[in-house]
Amino acid sequence: MNHDFWAVEKLTLTSQTPEGGFYAGRAKPGETVIEMRGITKRFPGVVANDDIDFDVKAGEIHALLGENGAGKTTLMNIMYGLLQPDEGEIYVRGRKVVMRSPKDAIALGIGMVHQHFMLVEPHTVTENVILGLKSPKGILLDLEGAKRRIEELSKKYGLKVDPDAKIWQLSVGERQRVEIIKALYRGAQILILDEPTAVLTPPEVKELMAIIRRMAEQGHAVVPFITHKLPEVMAISDRVTILRRGKVVARIRTKDARESELARHMVGREVLFTIEKNPAKPGRVVLEVRNLKALSDRGLPALKNVSFSIREGEILGVAGVAGNGQRELAEVIAGLRRAVAGRVLIDGRDVTNLPPREIIKQGLGHIPEDRMGMGLILDFSIAENAILETHSSPPFARGWFIDPQEVGKHAERLIKEFNIMAPSKDTLANHLSGGNLQRLILARELSREPKVLVANQPTRGLDVGATEFIRRKLLEQRDRGVAILLISEDLDEVMSMSDRIAVLYEGEIMGILPAEKAKVEEVGMMMAGARRQTEFEA
Amino acid sequence: MRNLRWAVEEMAPLKLKMREKPPAPATKVLYLVATLTPMFLIVAVIISMVGANPLVAYRELFTAPFRNIHNVTEILVTTTPLLLIALGLSVSFRCKFWNIGAEGQLYAGALASTATVLLLKDSATPSAVFIPLLLVVGFLGGAAWATISAVLKIKFQINEIITTLLLNFIMFYFLSFLLYGPWMDPISVMPQSELFPPAARLPKLIPETRLHTGLFLAVLSIPLVYLILNKTVLGYQIRTTGSSLSAARFGGINVGKVFLLVVIISGGLAGLAGMGEVSGIYYRLRGDISPGYGYTAILVALLGKNHPGWVTLVAFLFGALLVGGYEMQVATGIPTALALVTQPLIFFGVLCAEALSRYEVSWRK
């Protein structure tokens, strides 16, 4: 995120006027506008980009696809001047360029739309768009002129947005349009879109696709970076370049390709979207959530009257687009966020707003969304991390002291049982890979034999092996009688793992369906805010 | 650190590259020499500007502290409060509670001890009761003063850096009020309290010197702090809280309680240092019992990386530096302040060496 932060700083420094400059004059359709040759970038211990070739033509949509850790972000940062490659060359319209900062990239007609928007909320759209640019009127702002240009751009590309609206009044989709206008206003011919659909509802995605197509028709080169939304890649792009472990593994013309082919390239083998699982044997209710209300970090309602219950030996999956209250839900249950109304019951006991310690004692296990910040302490060893919740009770604590022998034995047991790849129990957590970090969290949480397990994005960003391992373990726990709340943005995961599926939209549950009757289309509609009429809840 | 790197890349014609592995210890020493040398050159220029010979000044600064037994005892005299305070601060800094109010906490401890002495001076309390009582009171005085900041942070989320710093001033002016007012020694015209009765004085370690038994307390605190930080449940909670506040909350640690305990330890040790000064050296309360020990100890704790072993070493070196500063003043007539300037410069030098061992620096092409 530091990169994004810095990008704003750079933009505010820009006094570049959009007209003229190196990029004066239109590129002809089909002309290669940016070409990267043999890009290599190394970080301590990893080759993030290994001899990557990539090019985009004017009027083309060329998607970059790859899992987390495949090297997308690095390549994108190189393309936008945030990082310099160790080897390789970049050509913009045939001329070799060296970009030292986003300032240079912008001057060359490269624009970026970040996944997390960089907008000043109390300001209007117009004010945000001209932020950091030199005004034609010297020290006075030319808001009227800017507004006219924004309206022109908005008409030309179908980017519906009110220039006088304040950012905080806008929806996520509208904010993204403001970011696109910002880039176009600065004369961007090449548009880099970082995970453009990650935060959008399905209707907003459709609209965005129309805008992207419009931009391509107008001669822009568009480069969306996408992690796992294969159907979108198929629908929108002319070409796809697929990265895996820092290397280009495939370059495909989209119209010649099938979705499964993309998936195979991405993960390196055929993906099995189905998971074998035993029929559920639900017992009594262990987690009950009644009319829960909570606020987001910004003090806005994040959960509005959420109710559900989970039985022993059952997985309730929560589907939804990111930012619709998932994090808040997990945190309120774990006592990490205050419930402003409603109740949470574990095994019949009211645990609402109890200190986290008490809720842990009642039998809650929690795999948090933020693995490295919340789930683990990166400068602690595996052994120290393994006792995060249990360090103050026997056998790990003896009076005021911690018994290092017991702690060590416990860690070694977990390492063995959960196949954590590490030289020893004393290895620091920040030397572990993402998959092993998650195994460690899972191992720790399960070692406490919880009655209820809240798993928030348990497999996000993990490689296939770790993902399968985690999913198998979760199912194993379900069969042992644990009640599991599985929160995931990966719809396939929710559909294949859950016994029942709840859809969260803007802090409300749109409906709860039995998994065997749920259809992707229906869940998709609910994720976009369509309420389900008939409730299947027992 | 990361933003610093960006800043350097943008502002200076320098290029920083993260080193893939840390350099060898010998190389680190080399960096230290390379970064400290210019620092001392800067001071040398200033010394010659006030008309003194920098070579003589430096000779005094570095050799005088070890010239004779008396000077060595003086090093230990200054090391005692520095070490006590810095050990406490390292506990506090380990959980990222930025207590910079040790100076005030030192005076709070001294004040509490003095109040007890003034109350009991005519009671003929034996030394075996008086001294332990003063130790407890000194510790509690410093701890109580520091607790104010902890409570403000826990209850109202007020930044402890601001409150601990401001409480220093409140303590200082309150002390002045006492020393110029109700507590002023009736038989002198100085702003100081009455002399302590012999039963309230810490025994000397070596007669005819200022070295007192308070040193034992400081030395005893070294393993104690080490044990607390590394072997106890509380230490685990302190380190967890310091490394990741959200992980600590996630793990069910009562973060407020940890802050409170940490502040009691660090404030208490500073208070103990204050008690040592009044009861071990001056035998009365004065407004100048500390030449900024509470602030210097912040540097000691940070340079010692909050590790009791390193903190001990750094405290001793800074003690020597203080003694050397006085000797330098005597020998060359330049103000002690110039010797004190070397402290932050050493700090800078060490930070630069640290940066060098983390990053490869080259000119931008």
pLDDT tens per residue across span A384-413: 999 999 999 988 999 999 999 999 999 999
- List the domain boundaries for chain B: 77-332
The answer to whether A242 and A254 are in contact (CB under 8 A) is no
Phi, psi angle pair for B142, to nearest 5°: -65, -40
Number of H helices, E strands in chain B: 14, 2
Check if B254 contacts A (Cβ < 8 Å): yes
Q: Please state which CATH number belongs to domain B77-332.
A: 1.10.3470
Closest Cα partner for A243 from A80, A470, A32, A36?
A: A36
Which of A289-298, B107-116, B135-144, B161-170 has the lowest average pLDDT?
A289-298
What is the pLDDT of chain A when averaged over all its residues? 84
Whether A44 sits inside 8 A of B20 (CB atoms) is: yes
pLDDT tens per residue across span B52-63: 888 888 888 889
* A interface test, pick of B2, B233, B254 with most A CB neighbours within 10 Å: B233
Distance from CA of B147 to the nearest CA of A (A): 22
Question: Rounded distance, CA B345 to CA B164, Å?
Answer: 25
Question: Rounded distance, CA A225 to CA A237, Å?
Answer: 11
Whether A376 sits inside 8 A of B232 (CB atoms) is: no
- Residue A262: is its pLDDT beyond 80? no
pLDDT (0 to 100) of residue B28:
84
Distance from CA of B164 to the nearest CA of A (A): 28
What residue in B sits closest to A367 (Cα-Cα)? B250
Please state, for a pLDDT cut of 90, what percent of chain B lies above it.
62
Q: Please name the residue that has the structure tokens 């495939």.
A: A250
pLDDT (mean) for A38-65? 87
pLDDT (mean) for A93-99? 87
Hey, what's the torsion of the CAs at A345, A350, A355, A357, to 10 degrees? -70
Q: List chain A residues with CB under 8 Å of B6.
A: 2, 6
pLDDT (0 to 100) of residue A26:
63
**Out of A377, A392, A402, whose CB is closest to B244?**
A377
- The number of angstroms, rounded, from the C-alpha of B236 to the middle of its chain's C-alpha atoms is 24
Which of A75-89, A304-318, A511-525, B127-141 has the lowest average pLDDT?
A511-525
Whether B236 sits inside 8 A of A101 (CB atoms) is: no
Question: Rounded distance, CA A259 to CA A232, Å?
Answer: 10
pLDDT (0 to 100) of residue A14:
35
The answer to whether B246 and A374 are in contact (CB under 8 A) is yes
**Out of A374, A387, A401, whose CB is closest to B232?**
A401
| Prior bond of A423 cis (ω within 30°) | no
pLDDT (0 to 100) of residue B325:
85
pLDDT (mean) for A101-105? 86
**Out of A2, A373, A389, whose CB is closest to B246?**
A373
pLDDT level of residue B2 (50, 70, 90 thresholds): very low
Check if B233 contacts A (Cβ < 8 Å): yes
- Indicate if ipTM > 0.85: no
What is the three-class DSSP state of A511?
Answer: strand
Task: For A5-73, give the DSSP string.
Answer: HHHHHHHHH----SSSSTT-SPPPTT-EEEEEEEEEEEETTEEEEEEEEEEEETT-BEEEE--TTSSHH
pLDDT tens per residue across span A496-524: 899 999 999 889 999 899 988 887 777 87
pLDDT level of residue A228 (50, 70, 90 thresholds): low
Question: Rounded distance, CA B274 to CA B292, Å?
Answer: 12
pLDDT tens per residue across span B303-315: 999 999 999 999 9
Please state, for a pLDDT cut of 70, what percent of chain A lies above it.
89
User: Which residue type sits at A416?
Assistant: K
pLDDT (mean) for B64-87? 94
Closest Cα partner for B273 from B65, B75, B87?
A: B87
- Residue A134: is its pLDDT beyond 80? no
pLDDT (0 to 100) of residue B350:
84
pLDDT (mean) for A145-166? 88
Distance from CA of B250 to the nearest CA of A (A): 6
Whether A336 sits inside 8 A of B252 (CB atoms) is: no
**Out of A373, A384, A404, whose CB is closest to B244?**
A373
The answer to whether A462 and A434 are in contact (CB under 8 A) is yes
Beta strands (DSSP E) in A164-297 are 190-194, 221-226, 239-244, 247-253, 285-295
Whether B250 sits inside 8 A of A400 (CB atoms) is: no
Question: Rounded distance, CA B293 to CA B223, Å?
Answer: 21
Report yes or no on whether pTM surpasses 0.90. no
Whether A397 sits inside 8 A of B233 (CB atoms) is: yes
pLDDT (mean) for A452-462? 89
pLDDT (mean) for A91-102? 87
What residue in B sits closest to A354 (Cα-Cα)? B252
pLDDT (0 to 100) of residue B365:
54
The answer to whether B98 and B164 are in contact (CB under 8 A) is yes
Across the A:B interface, residue pairs with CB atoms under 8 Å apart total 77
Q: List chain A residues with CB under 8 Å of B247.
A: 373-377, 388
pLDDT level of residue A6 (50, 70, 90 thresholds): very low
Whether B233 sits inside 8 A of A402 (CB atoms) is: yes
pLDDT (0 to 100) of residue A132:
79
> Are β-strands A483-487 and A452-456 bridged in parallel, bridged antiparallel, or unpaired?
parallel
